[in-house]
Amino acid sequence: MAVKLEVPGGLPAEPLRRFLLAHTVPGAETHLDGVHRRVFPGGVEATVDVGTGERCEVVHVTGPVAPEVVRRWLDLDGDHARAERHLSADPLLAPLVAARPGLRVPRAVSGAETALLTVLGQQVSLAAARTFAGRLVAAYGTPRETLVEFPAPAALAAAGPDAIRAVTGVTGARARTLHVLSTVLADGLDLDTADPAAARAELLALPGIGPWTADYVALRVFGDSDAFLPSDLVLRRALGRVPAREAAARAEPWRPWRGYALLHLWTAEVFA
C-alpha cells in the first residue's frame, strides 16, 4: 500500500530529516536520505519518505500503516501558521520562523515507546541515548519483517531493573526508573489515550521522573503545543546560557505556542 500525504503549507525538510535521523533507534528504525522505516502499532513495518529537497510538500508512505498515524507523528496538521504569526512578534524568534516556515513539532508513534526513550535520554547525548535504546531493542524487542519492534512495557517489567542495567549499560537509578515506568505502563497507563493532566501527574509521582521528562512527554506524546522545558540544556544555550528560571520567564510571551518556539530554538542549535 502506497499513499501520498499532503503537507498543508509545506515544511522545511532538512530539519525534519535531521531530527528523525538523530532519533533513529538502531535495530528498530532506519533512516537514509529522508526515507525513514520503522515498526508501527500492530507490528507492521512501513516507510515514510519526506524527500531530499529543501521543502516537503508531500510525504510518501509505503506499507500498512494508517495515514492518520503518520500525519499525527509528523504534525502535518498542526496549526503552525497561527504559531508562526504569534512567535514572529518576538525579535529572537522572528528570524528563526522566517528561515524555516512550516516547521513542525514531531509527535509520537507510540506513547509508551516515546516515554521510555525519554527516560533513556535523561542527562545524556542523543548519540548515547540511541546506543542505550539499541541495546534495549536487541535484548527485549520483537523481530518483525526486517526490523525489531521496540520492547513492550510488559517485557521490560518482567525483565527487572538489574537485567535492564546489565543489558543497556545505564546507571542503576536509570534502570530502576525504566523498570517502574514499564511496570506502570504494563499495568494499564495508556499515554496515547490518557487525560494529559492526570497522566503527567502520574508520571511525576514515579521515582526518577521530573519536569523535564514529563514536559517532553507532554510535547511529543500528548501533543501539547505549549509544553516547554525550561531546564533543557540546548534550549538554555540557545537563549544565551541562561538559568532555567530565566528561560521560563523569557518564554511567557510565547504562550500558547511555546512548544513550537522550543522546536525553532532546538533546530537552530542542533537540527539546522
From the candidates 49, 75, 224, 232, give the one annotated as an active-site residue: 232
Helix locations, the chain, DSSP H? 13-22, 67-73, 80-87, 94-99, 111-120, 126-140, 153-159, 161-168, 172-186, 196-204, 211-220, 233-238, 244-250, 258-266
Residue type, 119: V
* Residue found under cell 518556539: 261
Residue 40: HSE in the Cβ half-sphere, 13 Å Cα cutoff: 20
What lies within 8 Å, CB to CB, of 248 at 6+ separation is 228, 230
Determine whether 232 is an active site residue. Answer: yes
Distance, CA of 154 to chain centre: 21
Ramachandran category for residue 208: left, alpha or beta (phi over 0 → left; psi -120 to 50 → alpha): left
Which 3-state string (H, E, C) describes 181-211? Answer: HHHHHHCCCCCCCCCHHHHHHHHHCCCCCCH
Provide the Cα torsion 125, 94, 73, 18; round to 10°: -40
Residue 77 CB burial class (10 angstroms; 0-12, 13-18, ≥19): middle
What lies within 8 Å, CB to CB, of 110 at 6+ separation is 41, 150, 192
Q: What amino acid positions are annotated as catalytic residues?
A: 232
